[in-house]
Amino acid sequence: MHTSLFITCYNDTLYPETGRAVVCLLERLGVEVQFQPKQTCCGQMHANTGFRGEAFSQAKRFVRLYQDADTVVIPSSSCVAMMRDQYPGLIEELGNDELRKQYEALMPRVFELSEFLIDKLGVEDVGAYFPHRVAYHASCHGVRALHLGERPYRLLAKVRGLEVAPLANVDRCCGFGGTFSVKNAEVSSAMLAVKLQDVIATGAEYCTALDNSCLMHLGGAMHRQYAGMKTIHLAQILASTEEAPAEVTL
């Protein structure tokens, strides 16, 4: 089986270890990973901040770049949500019939990471070992846009040594919201403070999620406050084994 990894602009720049973990994990599961060097960004940041005009070219770019891929795997639920929820409107506005057909043919082959593992590969136990207490933060796009449901929990349940610490108000937004975190920094921080209370209260060593965007926000506050907890992307937990434990640089 082949898959093409869309790393996302912010993972490429800020969290390359997540990408490395995805590659390591998928190769361990016998999947051949390809990487399109021309990839840049899905356009979410622009579309969500009102710069719709700028998002058109990024949507076109993605569809064209991956039209021949067997499957595409993306370690970011917000980027997948962008493609499923907003690309149709953008593409319709462009009025390009060929592009629309390419998009419609491509989308069923595009997966968020946990979807790829559970739905496409049909695996829950990926042979991971991560002997720590971990709280799972359910990011909004994953819950409400992608309806990931139980998938991340099923994956976590099979990680040897890992103890899942239930998180109160698990569905409540952490306050990142993309450019919201800067345009409305104070409210974002208030929401973060409230979320962090719930996360810290779990007594976990790590907070994990399927989106590094939320983790950058949560982890940034944890670091500022010497909170005694770290963040780590779920891919890195799943890639972790006894022989090669997860890279945790925080």
Partner 1 sequence: MSLSAASHAELDPRLAAPFPKAVLPVLRNPQLRKNVAHAIDVIQAKRGKLVAEKRDWQELRTAASAIRAHALENLGAYLEQFEERCTAAGGTVHWAADAEEARKIILDLLRQQQATEVIKIKTMTSAEIQLNPCLQAAGVDVFETDLAEIILQLGDLEPSHIVVPALHVNRSQVREIFARRMGLKNLSDDPKELTNAARAFLRQKFLSIPTAISGANFLIAETGSVAVVESEGNGRMCLTLPRTMITLAGIEKVLPRFQDMEVMLQLLARSATGERMNPYTSLWTGVTEGDGPQSFHVVLLDNGRSSILGKEKQRQTLKCIRCAACMNTCPVYRQTGGHAYGSVYPGPIGAILTPQLMQMKHAQSLPFASSLCGACYEVCPVKINIPEVLLELRSQVVDQERKQAGRIFDPMYLGLRIANLIFAGAWRFHAAQWFGRMGLKLWTRKDGWIHSLPGVGGKWTQTRDLRGLPDQTFHQWWAKRAAQSRQEGK
Residue 4: which residues within 8 A CB-CB, separation 6 or more? 33, 34, 35, 36, 66, 69, 70, 71, 72, 73
| Separation between Cα atoms, residue 185 and residue 50, nearest integer Å | 18
Touching partner 1, residues 95-134 (CB under 8 A): none
The yes or no reply on residue 17 touching partner 1 (CB under 8 A) is yes
Q: Which is nearer to partner 1, 10 or 116 (CB)?
A: 10
The yes or no reply on residue 67 touching partner 1 (CB under 8 A) is no
Query: Closest Cα partner for 177 from 188, 190, 169, 193?
Result: 188
Compose the 169-208 pattern: x for residues touching partner 1 by CB under 8 A, - for all others.
Answer: --xxx-xxxxxxxxxxxxxxxxxx-x--------------
The yes or no reply on residue 88 touching partner 1 (CB under 8 A) is no
| Separation between Cα atoms, residue 162 and residue 160, nearest integer Å | 5
Among 57, 125, 150, 161, binds partner 1 (CB under 8 A): 57
Q: Which is nearer to partner 1, 159 or 191 (CB)?
A: 191
Tell me which residues touch partner 1 (CB under 8 A): 7, 9, 11-14, 16-20, 23, 35, 37-41, 43, 45-54, 57-58, 61, 86, 140-141, 144-145, 171-173, 175-192, 194, 216-217, 219-221, 223-224, 249-250
